[in-house]
Amino acid sequence: MILSDRTLKKLIDRGDLEINPLEPEQIQPASVDLRLDNSFLKVNENSMECMDLTEELKYQSLEQQEIVIPPHSFLLAATREYIKLPDNLTAFVEGRSSIGRMGLFIQNAGWVDPGFAGQITLELFNANRLPIKLLAGRRICQLVFARMDQAAAEPYDGKYQQQRKAVGSKIYLDSENKPAE
């Protein structure tokens, strides 16, 4: 079940759901708008021939109030807000319609697991033929919350737990990359 603004406000007021910092106008009828932080990562394309799922990727870290995403380019960004989900809620990251209509695709692999705590790293792709300029502090995406049928038996405690700023892929840490015993 998708949670309403009334339910979201109750959960936040009780401290069951943490979204910090949060302005009242960020709470929408069935979602919470999140803003863009000033932390960005760009794959350092000049330091490797190709991306490999078994090796750590090299990124160029950028901290700035304004960024331009060139046409057909990919960038990682962070939300300004730190969130902490209880064990019985999941959240879906959705781009804002007004931004999507400009050709900017926003996601974070679909959803946020119950028990996750940290800033959300967003995957941004400019599908347009024109550059897109973004400013830190602007509403960039929204979280849609859903209550699970019961609390997770094993809430999220993975490699991105407690992340701050934009965080690059840690796929090289996956179990498939470990030598067989």
Annotation says 123 is catalytic: yes
- Distance separating alpha carbons of residues 132 and 147, to the nearest angstrom: 35
Cα 170–171–176 angle (5° rounding)?
A: 140
Report CA 9 to chain centroid distance, whole Å. Answer: 21
Q: How many Å separate Cα 143 from the centre of its chain? A: 9
Question: Nearest 10 degrees: CA dihedral of 130, 104, 166, 174?
Answer: -110
Catalytic residue among 18, 23, 63, 123: 123
Q: How far apart are CA 138 and CA 36, in angstroms?
A: 6
Give per-residue burial for 46-63: e unless 16+ CB within 10 Å, then b: eeeeeeeeeeebebeeee
Tell me which residues are annotated as active site.
123
